[in-house]
Structure 1
Amino acid sequence: MSTPAAPALSVLDLVPVRADQGTTEALAATRALAQVADDHGYRRYWLAEHHNMPSIASTNPPVIAAMIAAATERIRVGSGGVMLPNHAPLVVAEQFALLEAAFPGRVDLGLGRAPGTDPVTAWALRHGGGGVEADAAERFPEHVDTVLAMMSPDGVGVQLTTGQHVLRATPQAASVPTVWLLGSSDFSARLAASRGLPYVFAHHFSGRGTAEALALYREGYQPSAEHPEPRTFLTVNVVVADTEEEAQRLVQPMVRSMVALRTGQPLLPQALVEDAEAAPVAAAHQPLVDDMAARWVVGDPQQAAGRIRDLASTFGVDEVMVSPVAGATAGTPTDRSPAREATLRLLADALAA
């Protein structure tokens, strides 16, 4: 039996903050992780948008993407994604048009519809400073179209009482970022198909409905000039170590964080491995842990490479975006994430073998 072809690899980074780190150290660790991805042939490096969470520093994807692009040589950088209802479309268009101008041909703009935070923080983002209107989530399709138009070289015409005004995200755009729609339901799948845009289902977060969402997207796809064929890939949480036993140890801090998130417990900076091991999961929450374990890729290099190949084959994709969620042990340098770096190196080497 032939081995399935190795898919291309990419990275999704939430910029985790450990209990032994400040934001400065977490960002330094992310920069080093991106350089490992760049050196090992990963295709793209995306930053998520989350707010007011003690364990996640990726509050501003375009700012961190600029840092990553400046610290790397060839890998594509972008958002996974910008939560568009939190922002005025022109601001998003300007940010990513500038990124594309600074790093032409290397920028992706992933757009999502969820708030990426709690309701109070969402209010502060959208209205506390007189920002985006209350129905922004419902107007997501319109705002996607607006961002696309504003980033184009011709801009978009706005009719006001004073006449027709043209808005452009940047004065002389020579190229535009690739726009992707992201989602964890069929809404964005249908929208991406209708607009002829690339699409990614949040398999790493949801894990359910992936096949159905991808089928809706592919079956309803309307070709566009930029994308004559549907484009999609898979996202998955991954921990790879020299042995399966070590990988299972390293995943425990992320397991504790996800259990807290899913069960309404206080969210804290990510625990070190030893502290996570000393705090067993309550028996009532074990089914949740088992469900997550079935969807994550945790193991030695050969096991992980086999799972990645199988996932790519099952969902018919030629690219897998991994979220490296390995924790850190006591004494780890605070400005590095060695276990996350090892995950990227070991996985890339195993798939290339």
Structure 2
Amino acid sequence: MTDLSVLDLVPVRSDQTSGDAVRASLDLARVADELGLTRYWVAEHHNMPAVAATNPPVLIAMIAGATERIRVGSGGMMLPNHAPLVVAEQFALLEAAHPGRIDLGIGRAPGTDPVTSWALRHGAGGVSDEAVSRFPEYVDDLLAMMDAGGVGIAVQGRTHELHATPRATSVPVPWLLGSSDYSARLAGEKGLPYVFAHHFSGQGTAEALELYRSTFRPSALLAEPRTFLTLNVVVAPSEEEARRRALPNQLTMLALRTGRPLAAQELVEEAEKHELTAQEQHVVDAMSERWVVGDPAGARARVEELAASYGVDEVMLHPVAGAHVGTEPGTAPTREETLRLLAA
């Protein structure tokens, strides 16, 4: 059986506050821990009405503190938004508090709009071309700074010793994330674990994974390629109900893909009132072909089929089931049911 993990964007529904959304995600993480799933990752997105995952280190601390054994990490930290030392300090401290349980997934995209990118860097040029072009250097700096023995930084002819945390005994496991061949090649060359954003892109996955595997060079961290597959998943007792629950997230993604204003995610009954044009339905159908939406038996079979097709032994589920009218705001029972039905 393929190992299962979770990716969480901490979605905010039309009936929720940000606090409600966080409480629902903490409950979801406890369910994943209880079910014996492998890892639980949170994303980094900014200035989006339907996403409360703005600060992965804060969320990771909360989730790791609310769970017992599951690995917790970022999917991912968008490195051009941050100084490498800040990220190194955050994750070194998380690893010190929860040894052996922290993953550091690193991405190159901004995860937001240009204005918010500018604000993230105190107005210092936003996520500039220079920050993106220096991404490989930033990755090296970040990994060196987290080393338990510290790192020497050469400044004005002198070497200064730098430790991300004073007495580290272990370090987080780093992963490179991407939705193009850039990070696949970089991860292969640096001998790092790699994940392609199949749940978001859905195209070019096989090519990216093949590029990663073919360019992989063994490193002190990893002897052979390591990757997994990310999937948007909705599972319900019946396929018909699963399709209903998928609709709110489909409409959110439709707005994102067509440049419409974003809003909090609608409830199932709200989403069902929309009448899509033929072109809109085509976009939704094309996206949904790459999702796993169905009853428990059909969904599990599809997950296993995709895992075998892409040659992975772990699948990270992005549970996107919408909630019904009357759901308690601080809960996400349909997302929890997706995990329970797949893991049963």
Q: Same fold (TM over 0.5)?
A: yes
Question: Per-residue displacement from partner, 1:39-59 (whole Å, max 9, x unpaired)?
Answer: 011100000000000000000
Task: Give the deviation of 1:240 after TM superposition.
Answer: 0.2
Distance 1:303 1:346 in 2: 11
Identity across the alignment (%): 65
Instruction: Say which SS state the counterpart of residue 67 (structure 1) adopts.
Output: helix
Following TM superposition, the consecutive aligned residue runs of length 4 or more in structure 1 with deviations greater than 4 angstroms are 129-134
Task: Give the deviation of 1:332 after TM superposition.
Answer: 0.1
Structure 2 contact 118–126 (Cα < 8 Å) conserved: no
> Which residue does 1:3 correspond to in 2?
none
Task: Give the deviation of 1:131 after TM superposition.
Answer: 8.0
Structure 1 contact 274–329 (Cα < 8 Å) conserved: yes
Structure 1 contact 233–321 (Cα < 8 Å) conserved: yes
Is 1:45 paired with 2:40?
yes
Structure 1 contact 189–216 (Cα < 8 Å) conserved: yes
Structure 2 contact 115–126 (Cα < 8 Å) conserved: no
Give the alignment partner of residue 296 of structure 1, picking from 291, 300, 317.
Answer: 291
Distance 1:279 1:180 in 2: 39
Pairs within 5 Å for 1:103-122 = 103-122=98-117
Is 1:65 paired with 2:60?
yes
Question: Per-residue displacement from partner, 1:47-89 (whole Å, max 9, x unpaired)?
Answer: 0000000000000001001100000000000000000000000
Task: Give the deviation of 1:285 after TM superposition.
Answer: 1.3
| One-letter amino acid of the counterpart of residue 259, structure 2 | G
Structure 2 contact 118–127 (Cα < 8 Å) conserved: no
Inter-CA distance 229–256: structure 2 relative to 1 (3 Å threshold): same
Distance 1:240 1:100 in 2: 33
Task: Give the deviation of 1:133 after TM superposition.
Answer: 6.2
Pairs within 5 Å for 1:99-248 = 99-128=94-123, 135-161=130-156, 163-248=158-243
Pairs within 5 Å for 1:276-315 = 276-315=271-310
Inter-CA distance 236–21: structure 2 relative to 1 (3 Å threshold): same
Distance 2:159 2:3 in 1: 45
Instruction: Say which SS state the counterpart of residue 136 (structure 1) adopts.
Output: helix
Aligned residues: 344
Distance 2:100 2:128 in 1: 32
Task: Give the deviation of 1:132 after TM superposition.
Answer: 7.2
| One-letter amino acid of the counterpart of residue 164, structure 2 | A
Is 1:270 paired with 2:236?
no
Distance 1:168 1:95 in 2: 12
Instruction: Say which SS state the counterpart of residue 29 (structure 1) adopts.
Output: helix
Distance 2:188 2:274 in 1: 45
Give the alignment partner of residue 7 of structure 1, picking from 2, 20, 24.
Answer: 2
Calculate the TM-score normalised by the size of structure 1: 0.96
Structure 1 contact 127–133 (Cα < 8 Å) conserved: no
| One-letter amino acid of the counterpart of residue 167, structure 1 | L
Distance 1:262 1:20 in 2: 24
Distance 1:281 1:60 in 2: 34
Distance 2:49 2:68 in 1: 31
Structure 1 contact 196–227 (Cα < 8 Å) conserved: yes
Structure 1 contact 10–45 (Cα < 8 Å) conserved: yes
Task: Give the deviation of 1:290 after TM superposition.
Answer: 1.1
Distance 2:236 2:127 in 1: 44
Structure 1 contact 87–131 (Cα < 8 Å) conserved: no
Structure 1 contact 180–197 (Cα < 8 Å) conserved: yes
Task: Give the deviation of 1:29 after TM superposition.
Answer: 0.1
Structure 1 contact 251–326 (Cα < 8 Å) conserved: yes
